[in-house]
Amino acid sequence: MSKVYLIRKAHFSAAHRLYNPEMTESDNWGIYGPCTNANGHGHNYTLEVVIAGEPDPKTGILMNLAHLKEIVHDVVIKEMDHKNLNLDVPALRGIIPTAENLSIVIWKMLKEKVPRGLLHEIRLRETENNLSIYRGE
Amino acid sequence: MSKVYLIRKAHFSAAHRLYNPEMTESDNWGIYGPCTNANGHGHNYTLEVVIAGEPDPKTGILMNLAHLKEIVHDVVIKEMDHKNLNLDVPALRGIIPTAENLSIVIWKMLKEKVPRGLLHEIRLRETENNLSIYRGE
Amino acid sequence: MSKVYLIRKAHFSAAHRLYNPEMTESDNWGIYGPCTNANGHGHNYTLEVVIAGEPDPKTGILMNLAHLKEIVHDVVIKEMDHKNLNLDVPALRGIIPTAENLSIVIWKMLKEKVPRGLLHEIRLRETENNLSIYRGE
Amino acid sequence: MSKVYLIRKAHFSAAHRLYNPEMTESDNWGIYGPCTNANGHGHNYTLEVVIAGEPDPKTGILMNLAHLKEIVHDVVIKEMDHKNLNLDVPALRGIIPTAENLSIVIWKMLKEKVPRGLLHEIRLRETENNLSIYRGE
Amino acid sequence: MSKVYLIRKAHFSAAHRLYNPEMTESDNWGIYGPCTNANGHGHNYTLEVVIAGEPDPKTGILMNLAHLKEIVHDVVIKEMDHKNLNLDVPALRGIIPTAENLSIVIWKMLKEKVPRGLLHEIRLRETENNLSIYRGE
Amino acid sequence: MSKVYLIRKAHFSAAHRLYNPEMTESDNWGIYGPCTNANGHGHNYTLEVVIAGEPDPKTGILMNLAHLKEIVHDVVIKEMDHKNLNLDVPALRGIIPTAENLSIVIWKMLKEKVPRGLLHEIRLRETENNLSIYRGE
C-alpha cells in the first residue's frame, strides 16, 4: 500500500476589495491597507489542488487527471475567472475575499465534488509573495 | 565605448475591464471575451523597464538603480498598484486598459522622468502567458 | 502611430530523437550526445509567439487574443502535443527535430495563418536552459 | 536538538507512454487520454529529494550535498535522463510510468542509498501543472 | 474553526563562507567543497515565513500582512541583506552559515516577534536547487 | 538561409562589493547604496549566452551544445562560481563588478572562444529584478 499526493495547478484572474462594512473606514485601512481601495484591485490567482490516496494498482493513477481538471474548472475556475470576487461569485456572498477565506471557500466548493474523499489540501497563491493553505482542519 | 541594456523589474496588482462604450455589448464580448465582464477582473502585472546607454566609466553603472527604482515607483507603481485602472488612474482616463495601451501609456509616463534619454523599452506582463512590449516607435 | 509587440505563450509535451541516418552511429553520438538515444526522450516545450504591429485605435488591441490562441492551438499544439516529433507530425517529416529546426518549422506553420503579417518571432524553449528563436530572416 | 528538512533539486528529460496492455485501446484512451499515444511523448521532469534529520553540530550540515548530488545522479538521473521510461529503465520494467508510480519507484531506488535513513520525501514534477509526492507511507 | 497556513516571501542577498576553524583545511574542502573558498561567495536567498492559525472571523485574516512584512524586514532582512553572514550579523556570531543553520537562526529571531505563537515554519532557499526548512522541532 | 538565435543558460554564485577607492566613502554610499558594504554581499547569477547564425543543414544545429556548455563552463563558470569577484577573478582585476561591467567582461572572455563569430549577446541576471545585457556594440 502506497499513499501518494498529487498536485494539480489551475489559474484565474479576478478583481476584489477587502472591506468590512461593519468597521470604520479608518479601521478598514488599518487592517487591509491599500487592499481596501474603494474601486478594487485584482490578481492572477494560482490554485493548487492537492489530492491524496492510493493509486489504482491496475492503472497507476490516483485519479483521472482529465476528470480532476474538469471538476476544478467547472466548480472553481468558471465561477471565479475574470470575475469580481465581491460581486459576481455566489459562493462568496457575505464573505470578505481574503486569501485565507478564498482557500477555505474553495475547499468547501471542491470537497464533495472530488470523488472518494481524495481532497487533501488547497493552496491559493494571490501574489508571487503570498500564499494561503487550507486542509479542512 | 560599450552600449549596455539594463532591465529593472517592478510589480503592481490592479483591477481593470476592457470595454468600449461606443461599441455594442455583443461587439465588446466578441473582441474582449470575458475581459469585458461588467464588474471587472484583475491581474498581478509585472513591469520591466529597460534602459540603454554607456555605463559611466568611473562607476561602472548605467544609472543609479536606487534612483531608477524611485522613479518607477513614484511615476507608475504608486499610480497603478492596488487601483482600478478604469477609474482610479488619471493617465488612463479615456483609454481602454489593454496590455498594449498600458505599455504605451507607461512609456509616456516614464519617458521624461528617466534621465539622459536612457529609456529604451517597456515590457508589461499581464499574465504568465501574455506580455506587451513598447519601444516608443 | 505606435508599434507594439505582443507575446503569447503556449505549451506542448513531446518525445523526440536527434539522429541523422546519413551519419554513422558514432558521429550521431558525437554531435547529439544522449539526445540520439535510440528509443527517444522528451520535453515540455514552451512556445512563445511574438506578433508586432499597430494596435487598432478603436479597441486598443493588436489582435483578438482568443483568435491568436485558437490559431496557435489548431496549427501547432494540436499537431505536436503528446506526440512523437519524429513519427507523428507531418510537417516534420524528414526534418531532424532540433530546437533550431522546430522554431523554423513552427514559423512556417504559423506565417500564413496569423493575419495581416503580424507574425514577428518564434521563441521555443526546450528545457529550462535551452531556447531557440527564429524571425523568418 | 533540531530537525531540519533539506531539499535538493535535479532534472531529467524522458519519453514515456501510459498504456496498460491488459486493457482495451478504448479504456486506455478513457483513462490516460493523449498520454496513451502509441509513439509516446515526453517531459522535462523535476525531481526534488527531501531529506530530514539533525544537522551535525560540528559542521552545521544535514548531509554532504556533493555526496547527495552524486547519489541522486548515479541512482536516478543517469538511469532516466534522455531515456524512454517504457523501454530503457530496468527499475521500471512492467510498471506504467505515471507520475505516481515514478515517485514511488524513485523512492525505492534512493531509500537504501541515502545514508542514515535521511530520505523523507520524493517530489516529482512532470509538467508545470502536475506534481506527485511520495513519502514511503 | 478553520486552521489556515499563510506564507509570506522575502528576499536578501548576502555573502558567506562555510568554514570550521577547528577542522583542517582539507577536511573543510571535503565537507564544504568550493563553499569553503577563503574570500567567500554569495547568494540571493529567498525566505518564506509560514504562519498558521485561525483567521479572525471579523476580518478574515490570520494576521495583518503589513505588520508581518514589517517584522520580517526589521528582524531578518535589515540584518542580513547586503551583508556578509560570517562577519556582519550578530545573531550568527560563532555559527557556520549553512542553509540548515540559517533556517534555525531565523526561526529563533522571528519566534518571539511574530505574535500569538503564529510562527509555523521557516523555508530558506539558498539557490534554485537548494532549500532548508525548520519548524522549531 | 535561416538565421537562428540559440540561448544557453548557466549559473554561478559569487560574492562582490561595489566600491571605487578613488571616490569618498560617502560618494560610494550615494552611488552604490548597501552594495558598498565593506565585507561584501553576494548573488546567484544567471548567465544567458546567446549565439546567432545559420544551423548546419546536415545536423540541424547551430552549434554542438555540449561544446558550448563546456566553453561557458571553462571560460566563465569555473572562474567565477563560488568566488569573490573583487579578489579571486583575474579578468576582473581593477574593474568594479557591477552587473554592467560583468556582462561586458564575460562578453570579452567568450568572444574568441565561441567558434565562427557566433556569439551574439550576453544576458546577466544579478537578482530576480535586475538584468544587464551586452552585445559587443
pLDDT digits (tens, 9 = 90+) for A56-86: 999 999 999 999 999 999 999 999 999 999 9
* % of residues, chain B, pLDDT over 90: 99
Closest-approach residue (CA) in chain B for C51: B132
**Are the beta carbons of A17 and A33 closer than 8 angstroms?**
no
Which of C39, C42, C86 has its CB closest to that of D13? C42
Which of D2, D61, D65 has its CB closest to that of E104? D2
* Bridge partner list, E123: E48, E133
- Burial grade of D77 (CB within 10 A; 0-12, 13-18, 19 or more): middle
Spatial separation of the C-alpha atoms in residues D49 and D28, rounded to whole Å: 31
pLDDT tens per residue across span C4-45: 999 999 999 999 999 999 999 999 999 999 999 999 999 999
Three-state helix/strand/coil letters over E8-70:
EEEEEEEEECCCCCCCCHHHHHHHHHHHHCCCCEEEEEEEEEEEEECCCCCCCCCCCHHHHHH
**Are the beta carbons of B118 and B107 closer than 8 angstroms?**
no
Continuous segment of H or E residues that includes residue C103: helix C99-111
Q: Would you list which residues of chain E are within 8 Å, Cβ to Cβ, of chain A?
A: 2-10, 55, 58-62, 64-66
**Are the beta carbons of F29 and F36 closer than 8 angstroms?**
yes
**Are the beta carbons of E137 and E103 closer than 8 angstroms?**
no
pLDDT higher than 90, residue F24: yes
**Are the beta carbons of C123 and C50 closer than 8 angstroms?**
yes
- Burial grade of E117 (CB within 10 A; 0-12, 13-18, 19 or more): exposed
Spell out a b/e string for F56-77, using b for 16 or more CB atoms within 10 Å of the CB, else e.
eeebbbbbbbeebbebbeebbb
| CATH code of B67's domain | 3.30.479.10
Which of A55, A58, A64 has its CB closest to that of D100? A55
Residues in chain F: 137
Spatial separation of the C-alpha atoms in residues E68 and E49, rounded to whole Å: 9
Continuous segment of H or E residues that includes residue B71: helix B65-72
Q: C-alpha distances in angstroms, C60 versus B99, B111, C124, F105?
A: 9, 21, 28, 42
| ipTM of the prediction | 0.95
| pLDDT in the model for residue D1 | 77
Q: C-alpha distances in angstroms, A98 versus A16, A78, A91, A92?
A: 9, 19, 14, 11
- Burial grade of A1 (CB within 10 A; 0-12, 13-18, 19 or more): exposed
Q: C-alpha distances in angstroms, F128 versus B77, F42, F105?
A: 18, 13, 21
**Total domain count for chain A?**
1
Beta pairing class for B119-127 and B41-53: antiparallel
pLDDT tens per residue across span D90-137: 999 999 999 999 999 999 999 999 999 999 999 999 999 999 999 999
Whether there are 3 or more C-beta pairs closer than 8 Å between C and D is yes
Mean pLDDT along residues C67-84: 98
HSE at residue F89, side-chain half, CA atoms within 13 A, is: 27
The distance of Cα F20 from the centroid of its chain, to the nearest Å, equals 20
- Chain E nearest-CA distance from D24, in A, is 42
Closest-approach residue (CA) in chain B for F18: B59
Other residues' Cβ atoms within 10 Å of the Cβ of residue D34: 13
Q: Would you list which residues of chain D are within 8 Å, Cβ to Cβ, of chain A?
A: 18, 20, 22-23, 31-33, 95-101, 103-104, 128-135, 137
Nine-digit cell at A53?
Answer: 490516496
**Best interface-test mutation with A: which of D100, D127, D132 has the largest number of A CBs within 10 A?**
D100
Q: Would you list which residues of chain C are within 8 Å, Cβ to Cβ, of chain F?
A: 18, 20, 22-23, 31-33, 95-101, 103-104, 128-135, 137
* % of residues, chain E, pLDDT over 90: 99
Domain holding C94, by residue range, is 4-134
Residues with Cβ within 8 Å of A74's Cβ and at least 6 positions away in sequence, in order, are none
Which of D85, D75, D79, D67 shows the shortest CA–CA distance to D14? D85
Q: Would you list which residues of chain A are within 8 Å, Cβ to Cβ, of chain B?
A: 11, 13-16, 33-35, 37, 39-44, 81-84, 86-88, 127-128
Other residues' Cβ atoms within 10 Å of the Cβ of residue F29: 15
pLDDT tens per residue across span E69-93: 999 999 999 999 999 999 999 999 9
Which of A136, A125, A137, A120 shows the shortest CA–CA distance to A68? A120
- Chain A nearest-CA distance from D122, in A, is 10
- Name the residue type at position A96: I
Ranges under pLDDT 70 in chain A: none
| Chain F residues closer than 8 Å to E73 by CB | none
The single residue of A11, A70, A82, A112 carrying the catalytic annotation is A82
User: DSSP states of F20-79 as a string?
Assistant: -TTS-HHHHHHHHGGGG-TT-EEEEEEEEEEEEEPPPTTT--SS-HHHHHHHHIIIIIHH
pLDDT tens per residue across span F93-120: 999 999 999 999 999 999 999 999 999 9
- Name the residue type at position F29: W
**Are the beta carbons of A52 and A118 closer than 8 angstroms?**
yes
Extract the runs of DSSP E, i.e. beta strands, from D1-137. Answer: 4-16, 41-53, 83-84, 119-127, 130-134
Beta pairing class for A4-16 and A83-84: parallel
**Residue corresponding to grid cell 545573531:** E91
pLDDT tens per residue across span B42-90: 999 999 999 999 999 999 999 999 999 999 999 999 999 999 999 999 9
DSSP summary character for residue D51:
E
- Burial grade of D7 (CB within 10 A; 0-12, 13-18, 19 or more): buried
| pLDDT in the model for residue C101 | 98
Mean pLDDT for all residues in chain F: 97
A16 in active site: no
Mean pLDDT along residues D57-85: 97
| pLDDT in the model for residue F31 | 96
Spatial separation of the C-alpha atoms in residues E102 and E86, rounded to whole Å: 11
Q: Do B134 and C10 touch (CB under 8 A)?
A: no
Other residues' Cβ atoms within 10 Å of the Cβ of residue A78: 12
Other residues' Cβ atoms within 10 Å of the Cβ of residue E33: 16
Which of B49, B122, B46, B40 shows the shortest CA–CA distance to B81? B46
D35 in active site: yes
Beta pairing class for D41-53 and D4-16: antiparallel
| pLDDT in the model for residue D2 | 94
